[in-house]
Amino acid sequence: MTQAELAEKIGVSSKTISKWETAKGLPDISLLQPLAGALGISVIELMNGEYIINRNVSANMLRSKFYACPICGNAIHALGNTVVSCCGITLPALEAEEADDDHAVTIENVEDEHFITVHHPMTKQHYISFVVFVTSDRAQMVKLYPEGDAQTRLQLRGRGYLYYYCNRHGLFRKKI
């Protein structure tokens, strides 16, 4: 798209577009929505300077992404890359780490379910916020609460990944 084409779409001069491109000026806030629309991106992507492309067209549970809001505790599960905003901030996709000694997990078989215990404090300041078991076609998410138990029962069908999120230390993952 040329400067003139973009300028015409949002009703400014091509000189104005040139100024933005050469960092001699910034778009007026009232132009953010029309500018994002003309470029075919979201306002969040425009502000971040990062274009999110989800190449995972058919989606795949095993490529799940998780997002957690540090302000309100919201938890979001997506099947690929996306732009997530909560409480006024853009949330990065959580990077899952292998379980460490401070976030160890045990899995016991109880009839047709599996009893998951994360060996971790559950205080108001430091706790496991959610547990998710993801297989190729389904996800079971369990919300845990401070001062409760870091335990839950899950139907573990097939192979997949057990994810659990500590509000201080981030996302952990164990292959099952």
Q: Which stretch binds Fe ion (CB under 5 A): 80-88, 109-117, 145-153, 161-169?
A: 161-169
Closest contact distance (angstroms) between CB of 130 and Fe ion is: 13
Please state the closest distance from residue 120 (CB atom) to Fe ion, in A.
Answer: 6
> Tokens in use for 69?
């809001």
SS3 151: strand
Q: Which of residues 44-83 bind Fe ion (CB under 5 A)?
A: none
Does position 94 interact with Fe ion (CB under 5 A)? The reply is: no
CA angle 82, 88, 92 (to 5 degrees): 35
Total binding residues for Fe ion by CB under 5 A? 3
169 binds Fe ion (CB under 5 A): yes
17 binds Fe ion (CB under 5 A): no
Query: E strands along the chain, which residues?
Result: 65-68, 75-78, 84-86, 89-91, 97-98, 104-110, 113-119, 128-134, 139-143, 151-154, 161-166, 170-175
Span from 36-44, 79-87, 140-148, 158-166 in contact with Fe ion (CB under 5 A): 158-166
Does residue 9 interact with Fe ion by CB under 5 A? no
Minimum CB–partner distance for residue 149 and Fe ion (Å): 15
DSSP string across 104-149: EEEEEEETTEEEEEEES---SSS-EEEEEEE-SS-EEEEE--TTS-
Q: Across-strand partners of 170?
A: 166
Asked if 99 is part of the footprint of Fe ion (rule: CB under 5 A), the reply reads no
Among 94, 96, 154, 166, binds Fe ion (CB under 5 A): 166
CB of 36: closest distance to Fe ion in angstroms?
37
Q: What is the spatial distance between Cα 56 and Cα 58, in angstroms, rounded to a whole number?
A: 6
Which residues are near Fe ion by CB under 5 A? Answer: 166, 168-169
